[in-house]
Amino acid sequence: MTRRTFFRLAAIGAAPVLVCTQAQAHDPQTIQIGLAQGLFKDTQPAVVQALAKPLRDLVKRSTGLTGDVELIADPLELAAKMKAGKLQLGVFHGYEFAWVKQADDEIVPVVVSVPPARKFQACVLVRSDSPHKELEDLKDEGVIVPRATKGHCTLYFDTLRARLPATTAKPMTKPAMTSEEALDAIVNGDQTAALVDASALLGYQTLQPGAAKQLRCLCESEVFPPTVLAYRKGGLNEGTVASLRKLLTESHQTAAGKPLLMLWNLKGFELAPADYGEQLTRSLKNYPSPKSDTGTIRTAGRAGDK
């Protein structure tokens, strides 16, 4: 796989691939899937639907069940559609799931996704010889926010910047620049700092180990709860949920699963960890639900859109 191909795939990789197995005969429902739109920042809806088509085809071919994928901007709206029975499955950022669980505890995980770095974490990178020691030192200097930067990265960065002067560490949105290109710009001395996800950094370290040694982490976030595929209790037959869970957790071992994981840049899926509830509680404390007056949530991922 070329470097450019790796980072093109990495730009998509927070959202899980959805495959399901045969529902029991007495449960002939379709399986409608909702995706939090923030998972696909800088990706056109038509592109997302094109990526989803082979997944829908696989579901139909494997199970006989039909279903559509719907992009939904607001995670609370996604949860409300699950409660109303309009959607049976929802995919959320981990921090969004903390907001949703606060509003509806009946929505529970099927599986969580495992990214290449095995963690969802944001990093601000500078050159190793940079004089800057902390984010506050970036006075009148910008931080590159590459294309398709993950939602947890911009949430962390925006939260840090809320206490800084407007001109300090100002986000520089670069919609034409991948994470790899942003890190190249730091190494080459063309830019001062860049905001990237831990998996993007791991990919850079793997593909460009020499250049990666010239980078230093200026600051990094706590580890966020992993992205989750969830259902609402009673919204799906439990046998179907068990089959879906088994198939996804074994997808890294199957011929059908491996190409899907490669497409979405995931190592695999696993059961929600035993402390997932505690992770959600910590996330909610650090990043409270930004609920608007209408009861909806402002989707994270707005760095650079000031």
Does residue 60 lie within any of the structural domains? yes
Same domain for 19 and 49:
yes
CA distance 286 to 289: 10
| Domain presence at residue 304 | no
| Residue 14's CATH number | 3.40.190.10
Q: Where in the sequence is the domain holding 153, given as residue range(s)?
A: 122-220
* pLDDT value at 300 more than 90: no
β-sheet with 228-232: strand ranges across: 69-72, 33-36, 89-92, 228-232, 107-114, 268-270
Q: Is residue 293 assigned to a domain?
A: no
Q: State the pLDDT confidence band at 26, using cuts at 50, 70 and 90.
A: very low
Of 198, 220, 242, the residue that ends a domain is 220
- Whether residues 93 and 231 share a domain: the answer is yes
DSSP three-state, residue 167: coil
**130 & 209 share domain:** yes
Looking at residue 216, what is its pLDDT? 98
The mean pLDDT value for 66-85 works out to: 90
At residue 33, the pLDDT reads 85
| Mean pLDDT, range 63-67, rounded to an integer | 65
Burial of 96 (0-12, 13-18, 19+ CB in 10 A): buried
CB atoms within 10 A of CB 49: 14
Does any domain span residue 303?
no
Q: Domain count of the chain?
A: 2
Final residue before a domain boundary, out of 185, 220, 255: 220
> Do 229 and 216 sit in the same domain of this protein?
no
Would 299 be classed as within a structural domain? no
Compute and round to an integer the Cα radius of gyration of the chain.
19
Given 183, 201, 220, which residue is the final one in a domain?
220
Same domain, 212 and 77: no
- Model confidence at 59, pLDDT cuts 50, 70, 90, reads low
Q: Which residues pair with 215 in a beta bridge?
A: 127
- Summarize pLDDT for 104-147 with one digit per residue, the tens: 999 999 999 999 999 999 999 999 999 999 999 999 999 999 98
